[in-house]
Structure 1
Amino acid sequence: MSRPDRAPIVGDDALRAEYAAALIARGISTADAYALAARTQYIPRTAQSASLPSRAEASAPTDALPNKLSVRGNKLLEVGVAIAIDPPDGNELIFHHSILCQTGLPRRKVKGREFQRRVGSAWLHLQAGVLNIAGIPVPQPIPYGATPRLALASISTLALRTGSPAIEIGRTPADFMRLIGMADTQGSRYETLRCQFNAMGACRLQMGFADQTFNSMTVKQYEAWLPRTASERNKWPSVLVLTDDFYKELLAHGVPLNRRALHALTGSALCIDIYTWLAYRLHLIKGPPVAISWAALRMQFGQEYEGIHAADDFRKSFLLALPKVLAEYPRAKVTRYPGGLELHASPPPVAPRIFAVSPPLRTQCEGSAD
């Protein structure tokens, strides 16, 4: 039931109206322009341009707003504006399993060899595996963070596009990093991709919904990506094969997402999780707004937060991430009330007609696990 004290996520009224007018002048619909403007923080300045404000960024709906603006915040907003002006076409789709949209991989390094997350009737269980490297079984960690999320969604999309569980993922790491929205193959990014890719290739994934359980390795054929050396820089598993079970699950329960939005959120696993959750959840709402308490949100998204301040730390992190996500999902309708959030019926981030007529993209917009 709708709460009378809910508060929309808004910024300064005068600057918001001016910014909305500038967006409308750039070709964005009135509704989308005001939705984007309502999620933008404004800091007063001496002269306000009629173009996209350089001193504007997506802001957290909190009492204390940040005093400094980040370059990344402005980039996120620019991508959101581009999405509103030019909605994604069939080539910009990326797919994620509906249960992974609700549960999500770990966001931080897991100390043990198993990880489980449960949200309502949906659950996810991961077991770390081993890879055969030079004839020796080498234990791998459980995949975590933004990288395996982007990699798994990209791999899933390639499988659906080609109509085959056997996927070519590029001739070099650079090819694949470009595919998942990572700019280069140097330093920590390269090593992160290698470690997380090996972990994903080795782990066992179980998912469940209601009384149904899906048991499988996600990948059934994978050659370990070994550390690069001066003579072996590009040892790279250019082909991997999904299990038949996981491939069939994708066909039945793949949720379409906007690739540009997902790539814009690459720097935060929490942002990716919130985006995929809203993409799955909002368009399924057919009646009044759905209220979700902070306690319920923490159960779904805050498992990694520990200590006496865990609840407050999670709430702060979520409120910093939410407006960044909303900037990339312009039509998402989310409001606050003192005890949590309200989700309103909203169009999906990808219009059904974009993929409903384009085999081999044979998934359904509803993407429901049931």
Structure 2
Amino acid sequence: MKPPPAPSETDIRDPDLRAEMEQARGTPEFADVLRYLGTKQRMRDSGQIQPSQPRLNLDQIRDPDLLKRVEGIKPGDRIGEHSIRAAIDEQARRDQKAAYLAKLKPIARRRELVRDSLAEPFSDENRYFVHSVLATCGLPYKKPAEGQGEYLSEYGRSSLVVQAGYLKDPASGRMIKQGLPYGPKARLLMLHICTMALRQNTNEIEIADSMSAFIRELGFEVTGGARGTISQFKEQLHRLAASRMQIGLWKGDTTTTISTQPIEAFDVWLPTDPDQKMLWNTRLIMDEKFFRTLKVHALPVDMRTMRAFAHSAKQIDMVLWLFARLNQLEKPVPISWATLKTQFGRDIQSRDRKFRQSFSDDWKAIEEVFPKLRTRLTDNGILLHPGDGDVLLVPAKRVLPARK
């Protein structure tokens, strides 16, 4: 039998074999090593043997869920080795993702995480609720001027009037003026309070153990101090608890005006130190009239999306407006720039051109989270598409039983 021809260096292609060849280069045994590696390369090419796999290193796996996945796999277990390699690959993918996220600014990082979470199936724990009038009319975007005690907002057939009120300070025993609720945190708190009431089917809500978890869930750190997140959420919770609201509903030939104080009783004064224990009851009671109208006019919201826009009151209002409008459409509906400015520019003293630019920037942030959204900006405003309601991932709300 004729022996195979002596291999050339170009015949050695697999990286591990070429590494061996380079290691032997310059030694007296180089020709013998080259023949051996050539034979090994031909056997691999013909399928007689498989390339050797790199040695498994369990130290490359750090995440608890991946470690649990490979727990108990014994050496020599071929099937188990596949699981270990899959876990190592997954850890490497996660590490690469973490390195990418670390380079992003906080807002961009939050959007990226939300986009990833939206790939997961919708679950009941993601379904939150807010009163539809609060969703479409909205609270002030920015802190109102000193002394401003009233705020009016209208949208379509709905109207909302908010009036500032007082709370009793447990430290001094004095009634303290709280001012009007405003900004993204007031909106997120109303989402939380409305959802707690509807989930428990009661207007008496315990918030002792849920507020810090809620702040973390939104992607905020729980921090103390005058500028910490606890102080910021506490201020808006106080303003909401003290405020009075009038909700106006117009049904063509009839109107209904509901005068209410959404939070009827308030027994919590949150500490500024995240480690400080509560020294009093942490309970609020939602006004019965507000609770009844909430059960009729509750708008379901996918809370995962709210995390992406938790820094911007205007973007929250835009997404809530989309939630409210898109599921009601039967055909595409154009909305003019003038209407959009009336809806989303009420707190912005700017020219039409500046408003369009500001709205366009906010819309890009929404498209970033919902890349499949067909609704598009046009030269004349925005064109809403009925099918986009499915893209927002919020199923129809569950009908709640009447309270006995």
TM-score, scaled to structure 1: 0.71
Deviation at 1:71, TM superposition (A): 5.2
> Is 1:293 aligned to 2:328, yes or no?
no
Match of 1:328 in 2: 369
Q: Is the 8 A contact 2:207 2:283 kept in 1?
A: yes
Q: Distance in 2 between matches of 1:294 and 1:255?
A: 25
Deviation at 1:81, TM superposition (A): 3.8
> Is 1:108 aligned to 2:149, yes or no?
no
Q: Is the 8 A contact 1:201 1:218 kept in 2?
A: yes
- What is the aligned counterpart of 2:160 among 124, 128, 148? 124
Q: Distance in 1 between matches of 2:353 and 2:259?
A: 35
- What is the aligned counterpart of 1:249 among 293, 308, 317? 293
Alignment CA distance shift 1:360-1:236 (3 Å)? farther
Q: Is the 8 A contact 1:160 1:361 kept in 2?
A: no
Tell me which structure has the larger Cα radius of gyration. Answer: 2
More helix by share: 2
> Is 1:194 aligned to 2:234, yes or no?
yes
Q: Distance in 2 between matches of 1:268 and 1:141?
A: 20
Task: State the SS of the aligned residue for 2:327.
Answer: helix
Structure 1 counterpart of 2:112, one-letter code: L
Task: State the SS of the aligned residue for 2:304.
Answer: helix
Deviation at 1:179, TM superposition (A): 5.3
Correspondence list, 1:110-259, <5 A: 110-111=144-145, 112-133=148-169, 134-171=172-209, 173-178=211-216, 181-187=219-225, 188=227, 189-210=229-250, 211-223=255-267, 225=269, 228=272, 234=278, 238-259=282-303
> Percent identity between the aligned chains?
28
Provide, for residues 131-163 of structure 1, a one-character-per-residue CA deviation record: whole Å limited to 9, x for no partner: 122332211110000111001101110111111
Task: State the SS of the aligned residue for 2:310.
Answer: coil
Alignment CA distance shift 1:181-1:145 (3 Å)? same
The alignment yields a C-alpha RMSD, in angstroms, of: 3.0
Alignment CA distance shift 1:178-1:166 (3 Å)? farther
Match of 1:347 in 2: 389
Alignment CA distance shift 1:180-1:243 (3 Å)? farther
Q: Is the 8 A contact 1:305 1:311 kept in 2?
A: no
Alignment CA distance shift 1:200-1:180 (3 Å)? farther
Alignment CA distance shift 1:169-1:303 (3 Å)? same
Alignment CA distance shift 1:137-1:290 (3 Å)? same
Greater relative CO (CA pairs within 8 A, separation 6+) = 1
> Is 1:305 aligned to 2:348, yes or no?
yes
> Is 1:93 aligned to 2:127, yes or no?
yes
Alignment CA distance shift 1:165-1:181 (3 Å)? farther
Alignment CA distance shift 1:241-1:223 (3 Å)? same
May I ask how many residue pairs the two structures share in their alignment?
294
Q: Is the 8 A contact 2:208 2:282 kept in 1?
A: yes
Q: Is the 8 A contact 1:128 1:202 kept in 2?
A: yes
Structure 2 counterpart of 1:110, one-letter code: P
Q: Distance in 1 between matches of 2:348 and 2:279?
A: 37
Deviation at 1:318, TM superposition (A): 1.5
Q: Distance in 2 between matches of 1:249 and 1:147?
A: 23
Q: Distance in 2 between matches of 1:161 and 1:313?
A: 41
Alignment CA distance shift 1:328-1:87 (3 Å)? farther
Q: Distance in 2 between matches of 1:69 and 1:175?
A: 24
Q: Distance in 1 between matches of 2:211 and 2:299?
A: 26
Deviation at 1:216, TM superposition (A): 0.1
Q: Distance in 2 between matches of 1:153 and 1:108?
A: 18
- Structure 1 residue ranges without an equivalent (≥5): 1-50, 57-67, 363-370
Match of 2:114 in 1: 79
Alignment CA distance shift 1:333-1:273 (3 Å)? same
Q: Is the 8 A contact 1:131 1:138 kept in 2?
A: yes
Q: Distance in 2 between matches of 1:327 and 1:249?
A: 34
- Structure 2 residue ranges without an equivalent (≥5): 1-95
Deviation at 1:327, TM superposition (A): 3.4
Alignment CA distance shift 1:223-1:170 (3 Å)? closer
